[in-house]
Amino acid sequence: MPENEILIQGIGNILLADEGFGVRVIEELDRRYRFPDNVTVLDGGVLGVNLLGTLAGADDIIVVDVVRTGKEPGAMYRVEGEDIPKRIRRKDSMHQVDFPEALLMLEAIDRHPRMVLLGIEPADIATLDTHLTDVLASKVDKMIGFVVEELDRLAVPYEKRT
């Protein structure tokens, strides 16, 4: 029996302060850990629908992103399955225009990967800055821990890089 294909994807625009959180987490995760061949670690940037082929090839998807919910900046949460489209329906950022459409297209082609969104409330997604705010920069390690917990739930092996 073949192994499940796992996609760990960070989405966001690294030019707009906290909007780049998902990508920054994925970059750091890839620096710290080595994964088996069935795990893809992907900087999804703002590509949205252009990632349909990659999304469609996955059995399990872990998405890291900022999503405005009105909570305190830095608040972190885990959303899965059917609750994900509801959470990202408020199109507060450029990539959120395309990502919900990509999810709809997955359904249209009868692909239903299991999906988990690991989200964080941003402090600033409007300022042109390639650095995260201090509040979100301080949460990168914790979010990486959340991603690793998801991999543990999926029984995916990984090892720390030295």
Give the confidence band of 81 by pLDDT, cuts at 50, 70, 90.
confident
Confidence at residue 86, expressed as pLDDT on a 0 to 100 scale: 61
Domains (ranges, CATH) in the chain?
A: 6-153 (3.40.50.1450)
Q: Which of 46, 73, 41 is nearest to 138 (CA)?
A: 73
Q: Is the dihedral of CA 107, 49, 52, 5 positive or negative?
A: negative
Confidence at residue 131, expressed as pLDDT on a 0 to 100 scale: 97
Given a contact cutoff of 8 angstroms between Cβ atoms, the answer to whether 10 and 117 are in contact is no
pTM above threshold 0.75: yes
Q: What is the mean pLDDT of residues 9-37?
A: 96
State whether residue 27 is helix, strand or coil.
Answer: helix
Q: What is the mean pLDDT of residues 152-156?
A: 96
